[in-house]
Amino acid sequence: MVEDSVLLAAVSLISAVQQAYFAKQVGNARMKYKIAPPSVTGSPDFERIFRAQQNSIEFYPLFLVVLWTSGLFFNQEVASVFGCVYLFGRHVYFIGYAESTKGRIPGFKIGLAMLFILFILSFLGTANCLIDKYFDINLIKKISKLFP
């Protein structure tokens, strides 16, 4: 069973490293712009990096939900590929936002598109499993019988 989620676990681990990297960047920015904790304001440069991390934190549980749901109920390999592209988009977003407010947009769009795709896959997989369980109709099997 655990093998069916090993790729999802691997992508989740990469995402955990990314979150730790973002947190480290905020720590470095605190030093550089001399923003002592608990303060989170005082320099626009620091605030952009801080907001970039905060936004990544906000989306992190949502990302994990659609990654694992699409991976378990649709297809592990497909979900992992889109998950990796999401992490790449997040990286572009963070680097871009650290430089300028406008710089956050390209990476954000990549991330949003990946979340949308993972959500659609999750929806299809979960809906098929629900229909199979409660109405005993396996749509995927029915469809594949049409193309023997």
- Residues in the site for a second copy, rule: CB under 8 A? 1-3, 5-7, 9-10, 12-13, 15-17, 19-20, 23, 36-40, 44, 47-48, 50-53, 57-62, 64-66, 69, 72-73, 97, 101, 104, 115, 119, 122-123, 126, 129-130, 132-133
- Give the integer Cα–Cα distance in Å for 50 and 22: 9
Question: Which amino acid would we find at residue 91?
Answer: H
Q: How far is the CB of 141 from a second copy (least distance, A)?
A: 15
Is the Cβ of residue 70 or residue 146 nearer to a second copy in the bound state? 70
Q: How far is the CB of 148 from a second copy (least distance, A)?
A: 26
Query: Which token pair is 94?
Result: 């963070």
Query: Which token pair is 48?
Result: 């952009």
- Give the integer Cα–Cα distance in Å for 119 and 62: 10
Structural contact between residues 84 and 90, judged by C-beta atoms closer than 8 angstroms: no
Q: How far is the CB of 144 from a second copy (least distance, A)?
A: 19
